[in-house]
Amino acid sequence: MKIKFYLTMFITYLVLFFILSGGCIKKRNPISPSSPTQTPTPVYSETVSMSRTGGVPISSFAFGNNYFNWVDWNNNGMVALIGSEEPAKALSLNFLNGANNQSDANAPQLFNFEQMDKFIEYSRTIGAEPLMIVPVYGNYINGGPTSAQMAADIVTYINGTKGYGVKYWTIGFEVDIYDQFFGTTNLPVKTAAEYAALYKSYAQAMIAANAATGSGIEIKFVAPELGWRYLSGNDWLTPILDECKDYIDIVSIHAYGFAAHELTEEKVLNSANGFRWLIDDVRNRMIGHARPGTPLAVTQANVCYDWDPKKYTTETRRVGPGTFYAAIWDADRIGVALEKGLWNHSFWDLAETIQSIEGNYGVFGCIWTNPSNYTYTLNPEYYAQQMVNTNFSGNAIIPTGVPSKMSVYASYDSGKARTAILVINKDSVERTITFTIDNLKPRTVTFYPMSINIVKIPDNNSADYSVLEYTKQMADAKLPPTER
């Protein structure tokens, strides 16, 4: 009798335990290859709190990427951007940077009027605002020297002849590191002072040309698109701003992560605070040099700046561009950029051919296309960017109590009456968080190891919340994020 009694009590407690645990922990999608068929019980829950009031407004141009690869390198029609329009549109970009080494140098292919048309049309097709470049290194006609008149002619063509109404412009690309790309001889500018003088003359000519088109568009300059010489001891930014502040409406820099030989899992997973410091440092440098209130943008970024696969080892390639580790780096970058109120953050780059990736002569791109048959593959970086771009809106709000080995970012949109939370679990074990948002009822969610997640919590306490989940296991299996 005692055995029967204790067995009955045990079964009763066991059933009660599963009922209670199922009520507080979001169940996982059993069809996910990374998900067990039943919900594991977390050891304990950590609390992350946030308030829906205040916050940092998310810029209308916050989510960006770079218009590359547009070059037909082998003159065989295998251009990476061919066939990428559909996934690029689904990425929910609102900004597309047309400036790069090739469109500035006009080599190995001219970024001529025909290519400019393609860029503007591509931008409009995917719903992104284009950033148009006028070149400094080589002109669009024959790659020779550029001039203020040629800069004006581009504006006349774009906003006059074609009537595109392009608002955002830049002058040159990474002029501060021309010496690293083109050597030290025959450079159009070699110092910050030389560039500032050229920049001002080009900007004045462009403004006059735009006025003459009668387009009704007031052009804005996103500049100076510096590569990395904007820090103490090697600073092109402040002298350029001192001379050209009246012609720089948004300060733009590039901010890559690491050289290929520097890549480690630990560095990639723990670089968010370094990015916070960089933003603060550049903004402090802008004080007294830029016009008060001038926004800051990071218009080119990637976990690594080395394009050549030969510079990577097997281990550094494992955590480099296109991998799940790079996806975590991207998610962290977007989260910090939104918290810090950047005008724009754009990743490098949008598309490369699958032939270049598989042929081991390319590493970048979040869309890998096969231009010969208009097919494509989406890599983990694509999904990480898409998860945030499509779910964050309104104001970025700052969570408190974020546990170690995790990142948590959030936005609140009163129009949608919901809070979107980006949770990155960088740990090797499951982690459980209880979210407390003002007077809403707490919500407890468990997250898989090495995962990127979007939790959407409605203002309505009686409505359920949702979790969009992307784990390293799913990425390794080449599966997209899924709703639990």
259-286 residue pLDDT tens:
999 999 999 999 999 999 999 999 999 9
Say what the pLDDT of residue 45 is: 78
Residue 30 burial (CB < 10 Å; 0-12/13-18/19+)?
Answer: exposed
Residue 2: pLDDT band with limits 50, 70, 90: very low
Separation of alpha carbons 420 and 412, rounded Å: 6
Domain boundary among 368, 389, 410: 389
Number of domains in the chain: 2
Residue 252 in this model has a pLDDT that exceeds 80:
yes
User: Quick check: 245 and 119 in contact, CB under 8 A?
Assistant: no
Residue 5 lies in a domain: no
pTM, two decimal places: 0.91
Same domain, 384 and 428: no
Say what the pLDDT of residue 461 is: 97
Same domain, 277 and 218: yes
Same domain, 225 and 175: yes
End-to-end CA distance of the chain: 44
For residue 148 the two structure tokens come to 């203020």
Tokens 């042929």, located at residue: 359
User: SS3 helix, strand, coil % of the chain, rounded to 5?
Assistant: 35, 25, 40
pLDDT in tens, 290-335: 999 999 999 999 999 999 999 999 999 999 999 999 999 999 999 9
Say what the pLDDT of residue 27 is: 41
Q: Stretch 349-372: mean pLDDT, rounded?
A: 95
User: Quick check: 160 and 108 in contact, CB under 8 A?
Assistant: no
Residue 17: pLDDT band with limits 50, 70, 90: very low
Supply the range of the domain harboring residue 315: 59-389
Q: What CATH number does the domain containing 248 carry?
A: 3.20.20.80
Same domain, 316 and 385: yes
Separation of alpha carbons 267 and 483, rounded Å: 29
Residue 399 lies in a domain: yes
Residue 278 lies in a domain: yes
CB proximity list for 309: less than 8 A, separation 6 or greater: 317, 360, 361, 362, 363
Say what the pLDDT of residue 44 is: 64
Residue 405 in this model has a pLDDT that exceeds 50:
yes
Domain boundary among 353, 373, 389: 389
Domain boundary among 337, 371, 389: 389
Lowest mean pLDDT: which of 18-22, 127-131, 476-480? 18-22
Residue 6 lies in a domain: no
Tokens 């002058």, located at residue: 171
Q: What CATH number does the domain containing 409 carry?
A: 2.60.40.1180
Residue 419: what residue type? T
Residue 25 in this model has a pLDDT that exceeds 50:
no
Rg (CA), the chain: 25
What does 262-321 look like in DSSP terms, one character per residue? G--HHHHHT-HHHHHHHHHHHHHHHTTTSPTT--EEEEE--SB----GGG--HHHHHTST
Q: Give φ, ψ of 103 to 5 degrees.
A: -75, -20
Q: Give φ, ψ of 383 to 5 degrees.
A: -65, -40
Q: Stretch 178-207: mean pLDDT, rounded?
A: 97
Same domain, 377 and 249: yes
Identify the residue with better confidence: 331 or 13.
Answer: 331
Same domain, 376 and 423: no
Residue 37: pLDDT band with limits 50, 70, 90: very low
Same domain, 410 and 298: no
Residue 186 lies in a domain: yes
Same domain, 348 and 466: no
Same domain, 377 and 429: no
Mean pLDDT of the residues in the chain: 92
Residue 366 lies in a domain: yes
Residue 410 lies in a domain: yes
Same domain, 454 and 350: no
Residue 22: pLDDT band with limits 50, 70, 90: very low
Same domain, 137 and 267: yes
Residue 297 lies in a domain: yes
Residue 426 burial (CB < 10 Å; 0-12/13-18/19+)?
Answer: buried
Same domain, 87 and 47: no
Residue 20 in this model has a pLDDT that exceeds 50:
no
Say what the pLDDT of residue 477 is: 98
